[in-house]
């Protein structure tokens, strides 16, 4: 199948471009020359029209046709002027003269100029003046605020104005014959020159195209052979220009391609070798031994950065006793070696520091950094090979590729191990959450004369908030507690569980809340050792008398709204949180409950809920909700509180555990 020759693909489009460019340039030159000649003729006609306009004002005003005719004759003497005429504003010809040449409208240029005259208009205007006495009286009245006593006299003053008025037009006809002849002559000359230039350029392009495409054909033939798998093919072109450079680059490319294919196979094998490794020791052993095989290197060590020790520690050995303990602390290893130029491989010398001498004595000559996201996570140390001094650029690139793949494999394995640990931790936290939820009351006490409802939301899977109900004195009394352990998560949950156990153990020993918290404080002080503390409100309701006896260990005071009298109060009783000071004594307070009383026990996670604008939900909003929901059932009260909190947060998460216990007296 015959194909379109390459040199013609050069000649035809380039020739078309040359021709098109020449036509455009020629058209631009001719058009420019035409515009220039017309502009010159127009400027000449404008000058003559202005001359005739300026000198014909008197003749038009006096209707002196003889003087106007003389002016027209003078203008007609100008070259290219065909006719000249003067008209009044009504279009009547006052003077005209022409050369009687037979000329079409397309070859005629008409220049028009108006004739103006200046008229003086006189008129009288009225003006007001103040007589002397009247002016004094005016000032006096202005000061006193009055409006009477103004004396005016009228006078008229003559004023003159100048007005420009059009009285006629001047028309001058100019011949375009000479302009058109000049343009035609110039255009013919440009066309002839352009055609000759285009022909010469096409011949030059054709010659150069054949000169260029000849060596390219040789490259095409060689490329076909390479595509068939013959990587030994080369091109011989003896030329000192870019074509010769192209042939040299082609030959180098073939050699590099052959080497790259070999390295690609090695890289693929290296990557495949990383897949089976499930433990870090096995992975590091594979990485080190694959790198050693590149040059038959006999010694190597892989160091990994240990965040806990802030050091590079040896993790895998080859050709070196694994009992050798080498440790580089405080990141000095990096500062000394990698503070300069960023390279794939670094040569060791004794000037690098004491640590370098230790490695050199072990036969280590080169270091390769293992990088992940521009962070050095490890070092591959190599040495003791007769060929190690002759690393080529391609081999350095291969080492760099191996180091990059190895670093990713190390990081991926770390992530896999972390993921596994996180999954185990997640299961443990879910289990702990279930246990913690079981520690909270599973059923709300059903007590005659009281409606109770609760809600607890930990900020994490498990939290430090706690509430409890304890039946005392055969069901005639009910112990109510709400507590908050400082902190969140597992530690807080453990202290919460301990606090619950202590409270249940001590609550049955005394019906005085102050005595109960005093004993719990001593027990927690021994366990916590000042590491954290617990805030707790504890009260005992005597059900028959509806008297609440309570004490407070640093917890937020419960809020009570009394519908009778529309009064909101806080159940205040102040004391230190539990576990801070040994031997603390807590006092009791009493409060008599009445029908329709609404009490809210809560932790600081409610009032300290924070929105995106860093605002706190606060006590004021809780007070408003409590007042506005006093007539609702107890569950609806808590639902309304949480709806207000959710609307306030606008999608933000709780920063702390939130617990609510609401109680309404019937």
Q: How confident is the model at residue 65 (pLDDT cuts 50, 70, 90)?
A: confident
pLDDT in tens, 113-149: 999 888 777 666 655 555 555 555 555 555 555 544 4
The crossing angle, in degrees rounded to 10, of helices 242-274 and 393-439 is 40
Q: How confident is the model at residue 410 (pLDDT cuts 50, 70, 90)?
A: confident
Residues paired with 171 in a beta bridge: 85, 112
Predicted pLDDT of residue 632:
92
Task: Please check the confidence at residue 153 and state whether its pLDDT lies above 80.
Answer: no
DSSP state at residue 591: E
Predicted pLDDT of residue 590:
94
Three-state DSSP state, 100: coil
Task: Please check the confidence at residue 356 and state whether its pLDDT lies above 90.
Answer: no
Task: Please check the confidence at residue 95 and state whether its pLDDT lies above 70.
Answer: yes
Task: Please check the confidence at residue 498 and state whether its pLDDT lies above 90.
Answer: no
Query: pLDDT > 90: what percent of the chain?
Result: 24
Predicted pLDDT of residue 267:
65
Predicted pLDDT of residue 1:
43
Predicted pLDDT of residue 170:
93
User: What's the whole-model pTM score?
Assistant: 0.44
Predicted pLDDT of residue 546:
94
pLDDT in tens, 537-559: 999 999 999 999 999 999 999 99
> Is 551 within 8 Å of 589 (Cβ atoms)?
yes
Predicted pLDDT of residue 169:
92
Cα separation values, 650 from 609, 613, 639, 646, Å = 11, 10, 17, 6
Query: pLDDT > 70: what percent of the chain?
Result: 74
Predicted pLDDT of residue 433:
63
Tokens of 28: 């631009």
pLDDT in tens, 256-288: 666 566 556 566 666 666 665 678 888 888 888
Predicted pLDDT of residue 150:
47
* Exposed/middle/buried for residue 86 (C-beta within 10 Å: 0-12, 13-18, 19+): buried
pLDDT in tens, 236-252: 666 656 666 666 777 66
Task: For 549, list phi and psi in degrees, rounded to 5.
Answer: -105, 125
CA–CA separation, 554 vs 604, rounded Å?
11
Task: Please check the confidence at residue 595 and state whether its pLDDT lies above 80.
Answer: yes
Average pLDDT taken over every residue of the chain: 80
- Who has greater pLDDT, 431 or 290? 290
pLDDT in tens, 165-193: 888 999 998 888 888 888 888 888 888 88
Q: Which helix (H) or strand (E) holds 493?
A: helix 489-507
Cα separation values, 486 from 171, 429, 644, Å = 104, 19, 26
Task: Please check the confidence at residue 64 and state whether its pLDDT lies above 70.
Answer: yes
Q: How confident is the model at residue 20 (pLDDT cuts 50, 70, 90)?
A: confident
Q: How confident is the model at residue 151 (pLDDT cuts 50, 70, 90)?
A: very low
Q: Which domains does the chain have, with CATH numbers?
A: 276-418 (3.30.450.40), 440-665 (3.60.40.10)
């Amino acid at each position: 199948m015959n194909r379109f020759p390459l040199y013609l693909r050069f000649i035809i489009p380039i020739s078309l471009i040359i021709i098109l460019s020449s036509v455009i340039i020629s058209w631009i030159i001719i058009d420019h020359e035409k515009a220039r000649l017309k502009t010159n003729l127009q400027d000449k006609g404008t000058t003559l029209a202005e001359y005739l306009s300026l000198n014909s004002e008197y003749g038009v005003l006096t209707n002196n046709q003889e003087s106007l005719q003389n002016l027209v004759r003078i203008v007609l003497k100008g070259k290219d002027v065909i006719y000249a005429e003067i008209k009044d504003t009504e279009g009547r010809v006052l003077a005209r003269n022409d050369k009687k040449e037979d000329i079409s409208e397309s070859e005629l240029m008409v220049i028009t100029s108006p004739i103006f005259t200046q008229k003086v208009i006189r008129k009288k205007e009225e003006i007001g003046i103040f007589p002397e006495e009247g002016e004094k009286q005016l000032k006096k009245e202005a000061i006193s605020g009055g409006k009477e006593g103004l004396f005016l006299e009228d006078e008229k003053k003559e004023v003159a104005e100048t007005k420009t008025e059009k009285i006629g037009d001047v028309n001058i006809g100019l011949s375009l014959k000479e302009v058109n002849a000049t343009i035609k002559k110039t255009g013919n000359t440009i066309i002839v020159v352009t055609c000759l230039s285009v022909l010469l350029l096409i011949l030059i392009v054709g010659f150069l195209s054949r000169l260029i495409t000849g060596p390219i054909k040789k490259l095409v033939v060689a490329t076909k052979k390479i595509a068939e798998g013959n990587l030994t093919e080369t091109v011989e072109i003896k030329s000192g220009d870019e074509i010769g450079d192209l042939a040299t680059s082609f030959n180098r490319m073939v050699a590099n391609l052959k080497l790259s294919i070999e390295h690609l196979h090695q890289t693929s094998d290296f990557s495949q070798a990383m897949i089976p490794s499930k433990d870090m020791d096995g992975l590091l052993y594979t990485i080190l031994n694959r790198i050693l095989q590149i040059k038959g290197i006999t010694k190597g060590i892989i160091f990994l950065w240990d965040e806990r020790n802030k050091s590079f520690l040896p993790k895998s050995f080859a050709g070196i006793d694994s009992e050798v303990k080498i440790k580089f602390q405080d990141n000095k290893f990096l500062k000394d070696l990698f503070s300069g130029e960023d390279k794939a491989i670094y040569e060791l010398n004794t000037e690098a520091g004491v640590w370098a001498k230790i490695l050199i004595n072990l036969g280590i000559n080169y270091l390769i950094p293992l990088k992940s996201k521009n962070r050095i996570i490890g070092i591959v140390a190599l040495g003791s090979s007769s060929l190690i001094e002759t690393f080529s650029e391609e081999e350095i690139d291969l080492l760099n590729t191996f180091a990059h793949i190895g670093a990713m494999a190390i990081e991926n394995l770390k992530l896999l191990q972390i993921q596994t640990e996180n999954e185990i931790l997640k299961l443990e936290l879910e289990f702990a959450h279930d246990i913690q939820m079981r520690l909270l009351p599973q059923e709300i006490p059903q007590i005659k004369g009281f409606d109770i409802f609760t809600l607890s939301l930990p900020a994490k899977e498990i939290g430090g908030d706690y509430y409890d109900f304890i039946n005392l004195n055969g069901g005639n009394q009910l112990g109510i507690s709400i507590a908050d352990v400082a902190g969140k998560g597992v530690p807080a949950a453990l202290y919460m569980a301990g606090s619950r156990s202590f409270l249940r153990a001590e609550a049955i020993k005394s019906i005085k809340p102050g005595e109960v918290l005093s004993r719990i404080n001593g027990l927690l002080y021994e366990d916590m050792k000042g590491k954290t503390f617990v805030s707790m409100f504890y009260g005992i309701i005597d059900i028959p008398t509806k008297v609440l006896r309570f004490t407070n260990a640093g917890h937020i005071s419960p809020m009570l709204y009394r519908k009778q009298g529309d009064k909101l109060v806080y159940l205040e009783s102040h004391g230190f949180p539990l576990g801070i000071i040994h031997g603390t004594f807590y006092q009791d307070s009493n409060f008599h409950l009445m029908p329709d009383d609404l009490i809210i026990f809560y932790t600081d996670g409610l009032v300290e809920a924070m929105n995106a604008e860093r605002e706190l939900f606060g006590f004021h909003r809780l007070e408003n909700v409590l007042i506005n929901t006093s007539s609702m059932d107890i569950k609806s009260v808590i639902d309304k509180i949480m709806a207000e909190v959710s609307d306030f947060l606008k999608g933000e998460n709780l920063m702390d555990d939130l617990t609510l216990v609401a109680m309404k007296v019937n």
